[in-house]
Structure 1
């Protein structure tokens, strides 16, 4: 009788156990080495406004208890901070909420561990721009213009007077100084990375149809009612902010079409799953038979007798990208809850509205010249005195409130949101979407070469069909960069986030600098675990995109060790244009 054990690999399972433990120890050592133990830097907003007698004025407070003006009550805010400091389930059960119809979103995830990639508590990003900064004010002006532009079709930006007015206003306020590029119909509301300004506004990975196994998937999206915005009257805003009501799910959906406007785009990121955009991208690339990385021995010809499947094949590639999206939430949640607790744009706008109404300051006729306004809004106060967007928002909200039988029929300065419930009940910085899409797309960059993307499409007619795109050449990595920017900025367009929550504020090449900058950086490739970014601009590494990219790099480092195949060097450019080698 044949001894079946003679056919088992290696026959020495003790040796295998030691190798398995050794591999895990190497992962532990790298994660330990990369863990930054110095305290994470903050922008000081929480301390500053507490000292001014306005605790929580510039901080996240949604779903907590608020006063009649919509400002958080001190005891409620302090109960949240106390729970965050303890970080335990019982502690968060003692947080004092407002109406209780809205609950805090998963703060305990900020303390969870992960077994692939670096630990979330050891990662660092620069503080968000201060509440009082020019950057935050200009950012908010863009939030307003995005809200006003939700129903302008992307392919009509060049002929839209509204878009022209937005570009003029943002450029006059110094948008380029704050975010690295001038606004034009070809660049406005787009990302700052290579490929973002090439071709259609929407990434091919959010447009192209594909097969999910045996199922055909058409990327038609449910689109909301045109012209309908929310939280434009003060009473509803206060009820939603305090958690007295929860209108989630009351969106009015009129049909399905391919993403054509910011309103369509906002609905995509309203209901997506964290792993969805990365999973879709990798499945589309596999279906297009896109060129894969030469690091893969099944691709570079080093393996000739077998083909990839569970390792380095389609099941592996798709799940690694999706897994990065889930782990990215741990990194985002630590920064959101335990470090920054940044205010949402809809709450910043409410602070402006309090001055317009005369509930803060002493000058209802000239609220932007009020001494207290200057004190609370700092360098941003000048931005608000110079922008043309507030008058447009006042009129827009006036029309919204009259058409929908809301209060404040003369208008407000509140931020019109695309979702009836407004922003979610977790802090703004960094944007969760911005972290998980960057992590997922970075994994995809590692597995797929930067080749020409075949058969690009655009919505045609009534956006029920796709037609061929005949413009400039689109590349795989350029469209992955565009995907990062789309998923990030779609949330901004819905009114949920700041640009600096996602994209790296002022710390990357401008559009017209990219070709030259890319060539300069080509010779500066460094190992992934030690590389430093060489970027022009202000040098602020703000935003979730960088955080997600760095997480993905650490995951690729760990994943690569698990293969029996002799995997080569993963090589690709990061969102800054720097070469990354793993």
Structure 2
């Protein structure tokens, strides 16, 4: 037996320092190689509308100064563009806000650096669909139907006349041609990825109770008052858009239950933290002792038999990796939002329609969607508005809201009924921040945990007051992670905050739906790619011999590294 014991004084610290430096250099080189220096693609809306005398008409301008018709003051818009070009704290202090009560959300995060994964400014996604595209118009029709269906319980979609009307309208407009699948009560308002249309509408990761250390976490959540929407009159809309008021935090809460409606889901994503969904998911998988991915050398019949994972490849590591992915995904989304696309929110597109309904921008007598100026501004989308069945329903819905809440002129409107009192946040729409950070976090979970049957699936019963056993088509772990991505993304849409294309992708090999349809838009794909680059860097730091990370991406593609 050797009498030589480990001696901290005799270790090769110079060698360790050199190896640590080499690893950091390698990560730097990887990030540099992953940095795309070609200019990001844009849809041309900013230049187009400036050229025809409507600067900012199709751009994000919330919180800036606007005229009485809700159109941005050109000098206020230019002050924002100048500040973003400079990208400094001093420059952004010179932005000319409107009322000044509502502030812009963190533009400087678009310029922040990161030391793990690829740099945000070198990432690329497809340009957002143009304002005048058919895609954007049909997307907006879905926003309207989501608002109308906010209080229909998911388990009653199959028997709801409102849901059937939504499906019929969207299908007649060509929803599948734009987004990759036909709308049915089983697919409506769901994601396009494998597993999204299997079983309950809500992912198990947003339903099941679990233990957070020694604390029981029950996933019942506070739900806002059914039937109460916001910003349905033009007076309130203008005040909120100009930043004269900030109604944040004025939600009326009626009780607690498991998520059973779009309105419930909207409230979950109203006040969540960026790392929350991913953290919950990884903790639940750890608690369930879910099988680790083949890349991980710990576990039954694996390479390491004398030790268990902890600080590396164990609970502390896996949970924090998903949280970090969420935070860094926000940097990637913020660069695209502020420095590239500056896409307007759906609530603003709807206000542009309302200006025509009122005859402020034009509009043929009795048919505001059928004059030359409307055709010019809305392009291919103009025909969608002449075909859809949703506008009359929205007008009546908003009329009833305005009468009941004593708003504005008590008449109806084509404004988008918002799920939050303050409407959308004061940062651009594309891509969605939630869509990026939830996809990044779920991708980390896919890398560390193997796919397989989801254990003991549940479904809300008795109006969401409790959970019962789910006995339908089998659910899978990775399928429920895909559903988690889609839920967190589309619940924001259901509250009126985002376009479908802000979040989901329907590019080549779009999961189990319609391969080859659409374009690779949105924050889901951005977040997935960011997470892969972070995992690439993390694996180089482990002393364990890590195998190949291998799992299916959201587009159905095989990811291996």
Q: TM-score range by the shorter chain?
A: over 0.9
Quote the residue 1:165 is aligned against.
165
Q: CA shift at 1:5, angstroms?
A: 11
Q: CA shift at 1:88, angstroms?
A: 0.1
Quote the residue 1:537 is aligned against.
517
Quote the residue 2:154 is aligned against.
154
Quote the residue 1:576 is aligned against.
555
Distance 1:506 1:215 in 2: 41
- Is 1:66 paired with 2:71? no
Quote the residue 2:390 is aligned against.
389
The answer to whether the 8 Å contact 1:505/1:543 transfers is no
- Is 1:551 paired with 2:530? yes
Deviations 1:91-119 (A, max 9, x none): 00000000011000000000000111000
455-464 or 143-152, which deviates more: 455-464
Question: TM-score, length-normalised on structure 2?
Answer: 0.98
Deviations 1:404-446 (A, max 9, x none): 0111322000000000000000000000000000000000000
Quote the residue 2:11 is aligned against.
11
Quote the residue 1:184 is aligned against.
184
Change (3 A) 1:495 1:23: same
Change (3 A) 1:360 1:27: same
Q: CA shift at 1:363, angstroms?
A: 3.0
Quote the residue 2:51 is aligned against.
51
Distance 1:196 1:303 in 2: 35
The answer to whether the 8 Å contact 2:512/2:556 transfers is no
Distance 2:309 2:496 in 1: 43
Distance 1:448 1:177 in 2: 34
Distance 2:528 2:349 in 1: 29
Distance 1:309 1:542 in 2: 37
Deviations 1:346-394 (A, max 9, x none): 0000000000011101535321111100000000000000000000000
Q: CA shift at 1:10, angstroms?
A: 6.2
Q: Where in structure 2 are the equivalents of 1:113-512 lying within 5 Å?
A: 113-299=113-299, 300-509=301-510, 511=512
The answer to whether the 8 Å contact 1:354/1:360 transfers is yes
- Structure 1 stretches of 5 or more lacking a match? 514-534
Deviations 1:480-501 (A, max 9, x none): 0000000000000000000000
Deviations 1:245-301 (A, max 9, x none): 111000000011000000000000000000000000000111111111121111252
- Structure 2 stretches of 5 or more lacking a match? none
Distance 1:180 1:258 in 2: 30
Distance 1:9 1:536 in 2: 61
The answer to whether the 8 Å contact 1:180/1:508 transfers is no
Deviations 1:69-101 (A, max 9, x none): 001010000000000000000000000000011
Q: CA shift at 1:130, angstroms?
A: 0.3
Q: CA shift at 1:505, angstroms?
A: 3.9
The answer to whether the 8 Å contact 1:357/1:364 transfers is no
Change (3 A) 1:323 1:111: same
Distance 1:566 1:297 in 2: 7
Q: CA shift at 1:479, angstroms?
A: 0.2
Q: How many residues align?
A: 557
Distance 1:118 1:283 in 2: 26
Q: CA shift at 1:132, angstroms?
A: 0.2
**Quick one: which of 567, 575, 579 aligns to 2:546?**
567
The answer to whether the 8 Å contact 2:192/2:513 transfers is no
Q: CA shift at 1:509, angstroms?
A: 3.0
Distance 1:266 1:430 in 2: 18
The answer to whether the 8 Å contact 1:335/1:430 transfers is yes
The answer to whether the 8 Å contact 2:486/2:504 transfers is yes
Q: CA shift at 1:463, angstroms?
A: 1.2
Q: CA shift at 1:465, angstroms?
A: 1.0
Distance 1:10 1:296 in 2: 31
Q: CA shift at 1:537, angstroms?
A: 1.9
The answer to whether the 8 Å contact 2:511/2:554 transfers is no
The answer to whether the 8 Å contact 1:418/1:495 transfers is yes
Distance 1:551 1:510 in 2: 20
Question: TM-score, length-normalised on structure 1?
Answer: 0.94
The answer to whether the 8 Å contact 1:398/1:408 transfers is no
Structure 2 residue matching 1:216: 3-state secondary structure: strand
Change (3 A) 1:298 1:21: same
Distance 1:160 1:462 in 2: 16
The answer to whether the 8 Å contact 1:431/1:488 transfers is yes
